[in-house]
Structure 1
Amino acid sequence: MTSDDTARTAGTRSIETVTTLSPDQAEAVLALLAEAARVDGQQAVSEQGRLQLRGGEREGVTHLLLMVGDILAGYAQLEDTDPVEAPAAELVVHPSLRGHGHGRALGSALLAASGKRLRVWAHGGHSAARHLAQVLGLTLFRELRQLRRPLTDLDLPEPKLPDGVTVRAFVPGQDDAAWLAVNAEAFAHHPEQGSLTQRDLDDRKAEPWFDPQGFFLAERSGEGAEVARLIGFHWTKVHAREQIGEVYVLGVRPGVQGGGLGRALTTIGLRHLAAQGLPTAMLYVDADNKAALTVYERLGFLTHETDLMYRTET
């Protein structure tokens, strides 16, 4: 920041709450997030949260803009779309303006907006975030691990698909409805992923990283004239700047699990990422999902970092 910028931050702190960001506001928030990511080494707001900055109003989504003078010093997003769980939030304070109570102010505003029923992500689980959670009276609720493994000299056995199962690439427009249905079934226990809508899918298809050739669908052939049924998928993602491939979303329809399809789809996706010359693969998995952790660890993945979610006592 320049000296003029520093002088202007001496103004009164205020928090504006809106359901839609103007283009200028969205750009300012994205710039704030980019600077925080540069300093912290990771994003403070998830991909879903960043996608929700643009495109107009989103049902259940609220944006909190913390201003000091005319400087955007902090941002928070509150999403209240889960019919059971408390509203979920993410927040960030500009790196050069930390240590002045702005995080606590945003957290207090989130508590007020949610009726003191709140879940908050602390991506990376940094000490400052843990301290803020304690100050706000939140307790640890969920641990999400990022796992990584090298893709160089990838040596995985040939994927073995269950009988009658074939794998092909996703076709945008043609496969949308079927994939959304299977995704909802596979992640019925996971509200963030399982509640994805056509709009959410369209947002991701519009991103520069989207590549249908890296979006694998597993189908089981039907009997007679019956159309093949989608039973699983592995959607990969390439982070071009970081040169990392991601096991973005992997799901198997309930009732088909346990037959080795998940492992086969994982292997197919990893081979696809390795063939593009990417040196590393990553994925996210809940720490309490022991079955998935076991599968990924056997495939050579190790914990790289951890995201923590805190919540109010219920």
Structure 2
Amino acid sequence: MARHSACQEQSMIIRAYQPADCGAALSVIKAAAEADRTRQLPAEALSLSLRENAVIAFTGEGAAAAFAWWHPQHDQSYLFEGWVHPAFRRRGYGGGLLTAAEVFVRQHGGGLLRARTYEDITGAKALFERKGYIVERRFYTMRTALTPERVLEAELPKGITVRTFERSDLEMLVAADNEIFAEHWGAVPRDPETWERYMILSRPHNPNLWIIALQGDEIVGECLCGAREHGDTQNGHISIVGVRRSWRGYGLGRALLTYGLRALRDHGFTTASLHVDSENHTAINLYRSLEMDVVRTRLHYVKKIKA
């Protein structure tokens, strides 16, 4: 991929990512994630997720400065994710990565290009808005403390049992998850292979922290928890919590979330967080009732790229 003339730093080189660039890309992601308080990605995530849609940027001296990829989505759009090393910010690298993604989408027939960043990452926010992206949705990060004295008890609805996840549950869990979130904004039905790659192989996974609710042999609810980052023993995260429509309104969601919080505490975590659509007021009220507070806002941007 050729150097982009729109970049501010003329010595930068932006080219297609190659497998040999894995270490350089991970170093950029690690530094950027630490500076921005965002999720780290393990090496497995790069090897599992990368296709042709990825670029890496270097300085004229050969230092890795930035990395980005963009994934095709179910609605013919692409999701852009990019990282710029803190030492090389405000030099045009972010704009160069975004331009590369826009060129790709334009050359492949055009469509929607989506991106996201946190409201307090002002540089990325300014870049997207300067490039003509608009906010289409906001998500909150909510967090709670898991103190030793906190009472975490909940009564399950009659006929419901809970247990931890087993590998043989995967196909049934994916089917339940697809149904639970079918009407949620941005939901994408996933097959077991894709779901496993995203939920198990590319993030911290402990099956003892995945709680499933059953009516007989059918999964009717889920609360999937884990460490926020690989190696993090203090900050837990709830990746998914949800209940099938037929069981909503019976207190199952609250019970599952309580079970998840208790499991995290029992495994030594002192905080728990989750993400929630800012327009899902029912869920937000539930989380607030369990002492969760909004601590951050994630902005979801979109731009139409013409062919």
Shorter chain as normaliser: what TM range?
Answer: 0.7 to 0.9
Q: Which runs of 5+ in 2 are unaligned?
A: 1-8
CA contact (8 A) 2:22 2:43 kept: no
Q: Percent sequence identity over matched residues?
A: 26
Flag the 1:157–1:241 CA change in 2: closer, same or farther, 3 A. closer
Match of 1:245 in 2: 236
Match of 2:48 in 1: 55
Q: Which deviations, in whole Å up to 9, do the C-alpha atoms of 1:95-137 show, x marking residues without a partner? A: 1111111111111222222236211111354111121012111
* Code of the aligned partner of 1:233: E
CA contact (8 A) 1:186 1:194 kept: no
Taking structure 1 as the reference length, what is the TM-score of the superposition? 0.83
3-state SS, counterpart of residue 55 of structure 1: helix
* Code of the aligned partner of 2:64: L
Counterpart Cα distance in 1 of 2:38 and 2:225: 20
1:103 paired residue among 79, 94, 97: 94
Counterpart Cα distance in 1 of 2:65 and 2:49: 23
Q: Which deviations, in whole Å up to 9, do the C-alpha atoms of 1:265-301 show, x marking residues without a partner? A: 0001111112223221111111111111010011100
Match of 1:256 in 2: 247
CA contact (8 A) 1:82 1:191 kept: no
CA contact (8 A) 1:154 1:274 kept: no
The question of 1:34 aligning with 2:30 is answered yes
Residue 191 of structure 1: how far off its partner (Å): 4.3
Flag the 1:191–1:51 CA change in 2: closer, same or farther, 3 A. farther
Flag the 1:91–1:196 CA change in 2: closer, same or farther, 3 A. farther
Flag the 1:178–1:150 CA change in 2: closer, same or farther, 3 A. same
Flag the 1:98–1:157 CA change in 2: closer, same or farther, 3 A. closer
Match of 2:5 in 1: none
Residue 63 of structure 1: how far off its partner (Å): 0.8
* Code of the aligned partner of 1:295: L
Residue 230 of structure 1: how far off its partner (Å): 1.0
Task: Report 1:102-181 matches (<5 A).
Answer: 102-115=93-106, 117-153=112-148, 155-156=150-151, 158-172=153-167, 174-181=168-175
Flag the 1:253–1:208 CA change in 2: closer, same or farther, 3 A. closer
3-state SS, counterpart of residue 53 of structure 1: helix
Q: Which runs of 5+ in 1 are unaligned?
A: 1-9, 222-227
Flag the 1:51–1:186 CA change in 2: closer, same or farther, 3 A. farther
- Identify which range, 251-260 or 279-288, moves more after superposition: 251-260
Q: Which deviations, in whole Å up to 9, do the C-alpha atoms of 1:218-277 show, x marking residues without a partner? A: 1102xxxxxx21111111102442611112211212322222111110001111112223
Counterpart Cα distance in 2 of 1:192 and 1:77: 20
CA contact (8 A) 2:74 2:188 kept: no
Match of 1:83 in 2: 75
2:276 paired residue among 273, 285, 292: 285
3-state SS, counterpart of residue 149 of structure 1: strand
Which protein has greater RCO, CA pairs closer than 8 Å, 6+ apart?
2
Flag the 1:242–1:128 CA change in 2: closer, same or farther, 3 A. farther
